[in-house]
Structure formats: structure tokens, C-alpha cells
Amino acid sequence: MAGIPLSQVALRLRPEDDVVVAKSPIKAGTELLLDRASIIVRHDVGRGHKIAVRDLPDGAALKKYGQTIGFARGPIRAGDHVHVHNVESRDFTRQADIGTDIRALPPLAPDESRTFQGFARPGGRAGTRNYIAVISSVNCSASVSRYVADRFKGPDFAREFPGVDGVVAFTHKSGCAMPDDEPTRLLQRVLAGIAKHPNISGWVLLGLGCEVNQVDRLIREQQLEAAGPGGTPPAVMNIQTQGGVAKTIEAAAAAVRRLLPAANALRREPLPLSRLALALNCGGSDGASGITANPALGFASDELVRHGGASVLAETPEIYGAEHLLTRRAVSREVGEKLLGMVRWWEDYARLHNATIDNNPSVGNKAGGLTTIYEKSLGAIAKGGQAPLAAVYQYAEDVSQPGFAFMDTPGYDPVSMTGLVCGGCNVGVFTTGRGSVYGCKPMPCIKVATNTTLYDWMKDDMDLNAGTILDGTETVEEVGRRIFEEVVAVAAGKRTKSELLGIGDEEFAPWILGPLF
């Protein structure tokens, strides 16, 4: 059989790379033509998986994206399938070089100015949705919060309050039997982030009464607003004080009903894109993630930053091994050192639990072609585009300034996105190569498939297909512009696939720190 030009079936991302990435499954024995030479593929290789293009000795650093993704475990020959069986993670020196690679984005021309139809909120913020929240201070009030929210569902509610997107219960598994210090403060910051979120028009806070996370302390220490829409004070109550479950449900439901008319009267109006804060996340990644959806999202992120908006990358364990590429974009030493401090915290945290931070990727990631955390991280940071790193935030800290930023979160998707939501992000994009079905009220979440096979198989769940980049029918910039336009459309009210399916009520998952007493 005649040789096949490598570019037809695989991608070499950088000239110095030791591997190429299969665009589609490649059979053992296939001859690939590259430059003036050829290689014989020695094993069946799946889409997104890697093939060595040169011989490498045992222990040699292995490069993809022009960066180290691991080290050869035994000799690797040209044509070998390169994966977990012959590659290992080792610690290696990475030069932070803070601020040495700051690239200014092209300035926005006057005719590029854009608006979207959003809800004007106090403090110059903007809502992309219009929800009422029932917030639990503790797991002990979770069921009651759910029962209250369930009173406001169905076609009758939609007819009576067409301007309200819904009443959502925000429940969790914490709030008591926890240290009354940083773990409690973090939970309070998360819950306050929901109450203050620009997509929340009004809220009711429910506690049990005897928990560590007291409702009156939460109100006081988080400086929550004293009034909801139209000046209606939000209701704060404890089950024990109200006299039990049934009485609390009736009182809280009545409080929600008082909030609804003012929320229903709100209307969308033209607002500048500078009022958008974009959450960047990925889950169920594969070998195509860092080649298609993630860099395309990076282009969209840069476009929003050019328009004066904020864009926030997260998942600290999933930038590990690539953090030096972010610190080189830091606008100040303070910003760069803050990010490095977070990475060191995660290294210590992993050691505390007799684990290592490089124990990622997950089972699904590996099946999709990702071999080491370094490879996964290099693809993940592509979501952040090329904009300077303007700020670094703690988990659920208020996203207070425009530009590209990073937030410290775990890599677990629901916990990570909860932090971004509670920091004030009002629209999100979630890339996936294996098929995540994530949604997260009160923020709409756009899902982007990294490959066409996935998009075709899960069209009911995937909003956009970035696999066209791998197919050769679109460029990264073209897909990036499609993502950017989808962000603007969804911010203005277009429903995402997860919203149409009703997903998002169960995904609220605060990061729970510390021991359980």
C-alpha cells in the first residue's frame, strides 16, 4: 500500500514536536510520509492519540505543543503509539519568567463596538438570566429549600411569571460539623456569591438554626444587600425558629411569591459587552481538546477581553506543568507570584493526602488520548487565549475587573464551575471531547464538542462543534468567532442545550475544605 501524507491523517503541532496526533483512527502498518522520510505505524492508534515521529531513548523528554509533556519509559521508536504504557510524569524545572511574554491584544475599532440584550443590575453589572434563589445555609435545610422551589414550576408558573427564568434551590452537603474558620468563610463566600449574582433578582435564605454557618452571621460578614428587586427585603429564616418543616415551607414560599412580581417586571435592554464575565472550563477532555475547542475558545476569550469584558480560566490542578506559560503573561510580579503560590499550595495539599498532583488525567481522558497532566494542562490553558494575565482570584472571589484572569479551583468540573459562578461570571463555555452534559443555573453554559464524531452522536447536548478544525473545514479563528457570537447570543437570552433539557438544578457544588467533625 502506498504511503499516506502525514498531514492527511495526523497533525504535527510544532516542528520540534516528537509526536503527531491522529485526526482519525490509523491502522498498524500504515506508512506515513513526512518531510523526506516516512514512518510505519506500529500499532493501531485512535483519534486524538499520539505517534512518535523519531526514535527516543529511555528517559528522554517528550515534546508536544513545543513543550515537555512527559518522559520516555523505555526506548520509543518512530511509529510507536505514545501513551501511558511508555510515558511517565516526572518533576522538571519550568522557568516562570514572570511578565516576559505579555502581548497586547489589537485595540477595538469604533465600528467593532457591540451590545447584548441583558438585565441592568446595580453596580454596573449585567444579568444574562433572571432567577429567584432559595439558598440553604446548611445541608439540614436542603430538603426544605427544594420543597419551596418545587412550588414554582410548570406551565402555570411560566404563564404567570413569563419574565422569570425560574426559582432555583441552591443546596449543598456542608454548613455544619466543620472548622469555624477558613472552611466556613469559603462556604459563606460561595453562598453570598449566589445571593449577589447578577442573574439572581431576589433570594430567600434558609437555615436550620443550630449550625456552624449561622444565617445572621452570613448576612453580616458577607455584607449582603438588605433589599431585593423593587426594594423588597429578602427573607432570612431558620426552621427551628419557624416551628418546623411545614411552617418554614409556607413562610418561605410566601416570601418567594412576594419577590416574583418585581422580578417579572424586569426587562432586557442593550448593554455593552464589557459587562460580561465569561467562565472558561473543560471536562471529559480528549486528545483533540488542546487542538480544536480549547484554542478556539481562547480566541473567543480574547475577543471578549478586547470588548472590555472579563474572562476567567480555572482548575489549578489542570494548569500544572503549564503554569509557567501563564506567569509569563502576568501583568505584574504580584499577579505571577500569586498564581505560583496557588500551584505550590496544591502540591502541598496533594502530599498531605499521600497523593501527587500529577495523578491526572482521568480514565476518560486517557481513553481519548491524553497521557499526562502536563499534556492535559498545555491543552487546557489554550482556553485562555493570548491576553495578558490581569488578575488571579481565590475560589469564588468577586471577579472585580475586566481582562483575562485565573481563579483557584479544583479540577472537578461542578466544584470548579461553582466557584466561577459565585465569583460573578454570567455566561460560561465548557469544552468536552468525551461528552459532558454539564449545566449550571443560574449561569447559562455553552458546550463545545472537540470532535465531529462526538458532536454528531450527542447533538442534543452539544451547542457547537469545534471538530471542524480537525476535519480541515474551518480554522481555529473561524470556530472561535462562532463561539464568540454564541456567547453574545446566549447572554442575550438564547437557550443553551443544557437549559432546554432542564439541567442545572443539581450541579451547585461548593468546594468543601477541612475535616468533618
Residue closest to 305 by CA, chosen among 380, 387, 383:
387
Helix segments in 168-313, DSSP class H: 182-195, 215-221, 239-242, 245-264, 293-306
What are the grid coordinates assigned to 2, written together? 502506498
Contact 7, 24 (CB under 8 A): no
pLDDT at 302: 98
**Residues 253-257: what's their mean pLDDT?**
97
Residue 1 reports pLDDT greater than 60: no
Distance CA 66, CA 16 (A): 6
What are the grid coordinates assigned to 511, written together? 468546594
> Which residues pair with residue 132 across a beta bridge?
167, 202
Cis, bond preceding 361 (omega within 30 deg of 0): yes
CA 199 to chain centre: 18
Distance CA 51, CA 12 (A): 10
**Residues 365-383: what's their mean pLDDT?**
94
pLDDT tier at 37 (50, 70, 90 boundaries)? confident
Residue 241 reports pLDDT greater than 80: yes
What DSSP letter does each residue of 468-514 carry, written as one string?
HHHHTSS-HHHHHHHHHHHHHHHHTTPPPHHHHTT--SS-------S
**Residues 314-329: what's their mean pLDDT?**
96
pLDDT at 2: 73
Q: Which of 131-145, 166-180, 215-229, 240-254 shows the lowest per-residue confidence on average (mean pLDDT)?
A: 215-229
pLDDT tens, position by position, 60-78 = 999 999 999 999 999 999 9
* CA distances in angstroms from 14 to 17, 42, 65, 67, 136, listed in the order given: 5, 22, 6, 9, 50
Query: Residue holding cell 503549564?
Result: 322
What are the grid coordinates assigned to 204, written together? 430567600
The DSSP symbol for 380 reads H
Query: How do beta strands 61-64 and 67-72 pair?
Result: antiparallel
Greater confidence (37 vs 268) lies with 268
Residue closest to 292 by CA, chosen among 107, 453, 465:
465
Most distant CA atoms of the chain, gap in Å: 82
Residue 291 reports pLDDT greater than 90: yes
pLDDT tier at 254 (50, 70, 90 boundaries)? very high
Taking the whole predicted model, whether its pTM rises above 0.85 is answered as: yes
Q: Backbone dihedral region of 512: left (phi > 0), alpha (psi from -120 to 50 degrees) or beta?
A: beta
**Residues 392-406: what's their mean pLDDT?**
98
pLDDT at 231: 56
CA 191 to chain centre: 19
Helix segments in 207-357, DSSP class H: 215-221, 239-242, 245-264, 293-306, 323-327, 333-352
pLDDT tens, position by position, 13-33 = 999 999 999 999 999 999 999
pLDDT at 489: 98
Residue 517 reports pLDDT greater than 90: no
pLDDT at 230: 53
- The secondary structure element, H or E, covering residue 87 is strand 87-88
| Amino acid found at 483 | I
**Residues 236-256: what's their mean pLDDT?**
98
Helix 142-150 / helix 245-264 crossing angle, nearest 10 deg: 50
